[in-house]
Chain A
Amino acid sequence: MLELDKVQAGYGNKLAIKDVSLKVEDGEIITLIGANGAGKSTTLMTICNVVECRAGTIKFQDKEIHRMAPDAIVKMGLCQVPEGRHIFPQLSVKENLDMGAFLRNDKEAIKKDMDYVYSLFPILYKRRHQDGGNLSGGEQQMLAMSRALMAKPKLLLLDEPSMGLAPLVIRQIFEIIKQINKENNTTIFLVEQNANQALHIADRGYVMENGRITLSGPAQELLANTDIQKAYLGI
């Protein structure tokens, strides 16, 4: 579904990711784990062409997308929930969801999808007239994911959904990620520092260090790998 081949990208004259190659298959949950500053977020931003891809190719559904405009990529069904959630602070919860459906024109289906995300996160329905900036961190994460779902993505990129949240909320968010993957057959590409949680729900995983993919394999294998246990799982 998504294929990166020797992708390079960076900021200024510094490369943040070097020769990154990875593959996401239809219907999978894939996770990319690594330390702070390893290049995980840059990888996602490069996929969405917010950061320019300097070398290599990115293919989505067998079509090269690394020269396409960001809005055209969203239109193909590739959506991202960026790190730090990026809620529009002075738009209401409902308006934030409307923005998620910005490229769609099918009013009734949009209404149905809004009801669906409200059923996933009833708290958002309760707060639908409040400004997005007034929500708590956990509610903002729920809103950010719901907003992405409003675009009816085929592939959803999630950047650190657990960041700064209470353990109970994290568990809830991960449950929902699994649910989205199963119910809507949405492929998930999950970037996490919380390697333990991420590997437990993922099918496969990639490990990133200093801008390079250093290890990859089925999630269960990575969980059992002693190096990873030491470096990322704290065992």
Chain B
Amino acid sequence: MDYFIELFFSGLTRGSIYALIALGYTMVYGIIGLINFAHGEIYMIGAFTAFIVATVLSVYGFPLVSIVIISGLAAVVWASSYGYTIEKIAYKPLRHAPRLSPLISAIGMSIFLQNYVLLAQTSDFLPFPTLFPDLEFMEPIAHIIGTTDVIILVTTIVVMVLLTLIIKFTKIGKAMRATAQDRTMATLVGINVNNVISATFIVGSGLAAIGGMLVAAHIGQINFYIGFLAGIKAFTAAVLGGIGSIPGAVLGSFVLGLTESFATGYVSSDYEDVFAFSLLVLILIFKPSGLLGRASNEKV
């Protein structure tokens, strides 16, 4: 039983991370109908920023709490500025182009960012400083769930609640929903659609950066390539839940995380991806629009 619960929590942790990344995919898709393939790289850049800032601060002997807060903020701000800039450079000029063009531009952006970090940093795995020490009161249950897992889960839940409140009640949140539902009409009621799109990229990138920092701290190492697989997995989760739907992305992420965790635990970690993608294929066969996606008649 303990083993089951342990796998369950490890699945939730994975799911949380996927959710933080998947939200960026699904929000951008909801608003401009683009799969932002560079999103995984934003996650990687967030992790790298946290890595650099945290390493420097720990050399100067800052207390751990301030290292976590400062490097987290730096990661969010830096990754968001990348997200904002990528949209302006690579997607905005192509907004009225055929759908394939921004997609190719996104793949190009992804490859560019990977190689840019490879050149600017190194191809080696770098050790990520320990940000979350094992807490003492966690001792009795440490064999089921680790401190980092708890921190990841709690952070994700707090971030999700905040995001939901923003989207539901603030002006920019309502503008995002309106723009996603009907861009022409959003323009006609006076919403500056360009600002809404920028805001979406900024929010999505910030979430991915938080995810990147948490994972890097959890695993304890980092390199330029970590964004690729994380991005693909999170994208899978977003499609699984119904791309364009925010609750769908969260649900899809947890389903994917739990599937992987149980497959690893009960079968073999070699089959982790096989189970994950088989699940995707199965769900898409029986529910093509995803778990919570709306069926649309859009012609592609």
Contact = CB atoms under 8 A, between A and B. Distances in A.
* From A75, A98, A99, residue with most partner B Cβ within 10 Å: A99
A100 interface: yes
A74 interface: yes
A50 B178 CA distance: 17
Interface stretch (B112-120, B145-153, B182-190): B182-190
A70 B188 contact: yes
Interface residues of B, number: 16
A90 B185 CA distance: 13
A124 B102 CA distance: 41
Contacts of B188: 48, 50, 70, 74, 79-80, 82, 86
Given A82-B184, A86-B182, A88-B181, A74 B190 contact: yes
A204 interface: no
A90 B171 contact: no
B66 interface: no
B174 to A, nearest CB: 6
Contacts of B174: 91, 95, 98-99
Contact of A91 (B181, B184, B191): B181
Contacts, number: 60
B29 to A, nearest CB: 16
B192 interface: yes
Nearest to B192: A71
B92 interface: no
Contact of A88 (B171, B182, B187, B192): B182
A151 interface: yes
A67 to B, nearest CB: 16
* From B171, B182, B184, residue with most partner A Cβ within 10 Å: B182
B103 interface: no
A88 B185 contact: yes
B184 A88 contact: no
Interface string A66-78: 0001110011000
A78 to B, nearest CB: 10
B185 A86 contact: yes
Interface string B179-221: 0011011111111100000000000000000000000000000
A134 to B, nearest CB: 14
Interface residues of A, number: 24
A124 to B, nearest CB: 17
A86 B190 CA distance: 14
B175 interface: yes
Contacts of B177: 88, 90-91
A217 interface: no
Nearest to A132: B181
A50 B187 contact: yes
A123 interface: no
A37 interface: no
Interface in B255-270: none
A95 B191 CA distance: 14
B175 A102 contact: yes
A89 interface: yes
Interface string A172-216: 000000000000000000000000000000000000000000000
Given A50-B184, A82-B184, A86-B184, A91 B189 contact: no
A70 B190 CA distance: 7
A87 B190 CA distance: 15
Contacts of B190: 70-71, 74-75, 102-103, 151
* From B174, B175, B185, residue with most partner A Cβ within 10 Å: B185
B181 A74 contact: no
Nearest to A85: B185
A102 B190 CA distance: 7
Given A69-B192, A99-B174, A102-B171, A90 B187 contact: no
A38 B185 CA distance: 22
A99 B192 contact: no
Nearest to A98: B174
B164 to A, nearest CB: 15
B187 A99 contact: no
B175 A71 contact: no
A189 to B, nearest CB: 14
Contacts of B189: 74, 79, 99-100, 102-103, 147, 151
Contacts of B171: 102
Given A82-B188, A88-B178, 15 more contacts: A48-B187, A50-B188, A70-B190, A71-B191, A74-B188, A75-B190, A87-B185, A88-B182, A91-B174, A95-B174, A99-B178, A99-B189, A100-B189, A102-B171, A151-B190
16 contacts: A50-B187, A70-B188, A74-B190, A88-B181, A88-B185, A89-B181, A90-B177, A91-B174, A91-B177, A91-B178, A99-B191, A102-B175, A102-B190, A103-B189, A147-B189, A151-B189
Q: Which 10 A-B pairs have the closest CB atoms?
A: A74-B190, A86-B185, A103-B190, A71-B190, A70-B187, A88-B181, A71-B192, A99-B189, A88-B178, A102-B189
